[in-house]
Amino acid sequence: MTRRIMWATALVALAAGCATAPRKDYAKLYAAQPRSILVVPVVNKSVNVDAPDYFLSTVPIPVAERGYYVFPVNLVKRVLEDDGLADAGLVHGADATRLAAMFGADSVLYIAIERWDAKYVVVATQVTVEFSYVLKDGRTGDVGPDRAEDRQDWVPAAGAEPAPSLVAPAVAPAALDAKTPAASPR
């Protein structure tokens, strides 16, 4: 019974997430046709210390499923940390073209969490996350029009059990619509 309710809430959250995904004009980036995306660690402006890592873990799947090569986020994070860039703010402040050259990436995706609210209810916790993101061209450092913002609600099943993949789909369709060619698996 509880299980069924959890499924229902998860489905509602999923549907809502898909419905609210915004569309942005990324004409310049489409022209550059990035095939690979370096997702750098997430900047945290919320009071929840876990939020950035939590969010980071949700990003690779939806982005890769849209046909991009997504650099291994954990490896990238560790390598940056070892390179003295443990602070996500420092990474976001670094030159995008230099970061891209370091990893051989076509583009760099920066995400910042603006707000992170968790409401505890009987069967599940509802989390509302507001975040902004920007995708930069790895060769020129060019950006889409502006920093894009988004807001999403989702319900991690059973409170402690996260359903992280429900969060980031909002990032993926907005920044990366299916216009660019897929990455090339061999």
Partner 1 sequence: MRARSLQALLIGGALLLGSGCVRQGTYHWGRYDDTLYRHYKKPAEREAFVEGLRTTILEADEQGLRVPPGICAEYGYALYEEGRLPEAISFFQRERTQWPESQVLMDKMIRNAELRAGKKAGPPALAPAAATGAAGALEQSLEKNGRQKKTLENKRLEKKP
Interface residues with partner 1 (CB under 8 A)? 14, 17-19, 21, 35-36, 50, 53-54, 56-58, 60-62, 64-75, 78-79, 82-84, 98, 101-104, 106, 162, 164-165, 169, 172-173, 178, 182-186
Read off the tokens for 57.
């873990």
- Minimum CB separation of residue 22 from partner 1 in Å reads 13
Choose between 17 and 144: whose C-beta lies nearer to partner 1: 17
Nearest Cα to 55, choosing from 173, 172, 174, 184?
Answer: 172
| Segment (H or E) for 81 | helix 73-82
Choose between 146 and 161: whose C-beta lies nearer to partner 1: 161
Give the burial string for 27-45 (b: 16+ CB within 10 Å, else e).
eebeebebbbbbbbbbbbe
- Minimum CB separation of residue 136 from partner 1 in Å reads 17
Choose between 23 and 122: whose C-beta lies nearer to partner 1: 23
- Minimum CB separation of residue 21 from partner 1 in Å reads 8
Choose between 93 and 145: whose C-beta lies nearer to partner 1: 93
| Segment (H or E) for 151 | strand 148-154
- Minimum CB separation of residue 180 from partner 1 in Å reads 12
Give the burial string for 10-21 (b: 16+ CB within 10 Å, else e).
beebbeebeeee
- Minimum CB separation of residue 107 from partner 1 in Å reads 11
Tell me the helix, strand and coil percentages in the chain, rounded to 5.
40, 25, 40
Choose between 70 and 129: whose C-beta lies nearer to partner 1: 70
127 contacts 117 by C-beta, under 8 angstroms: yes
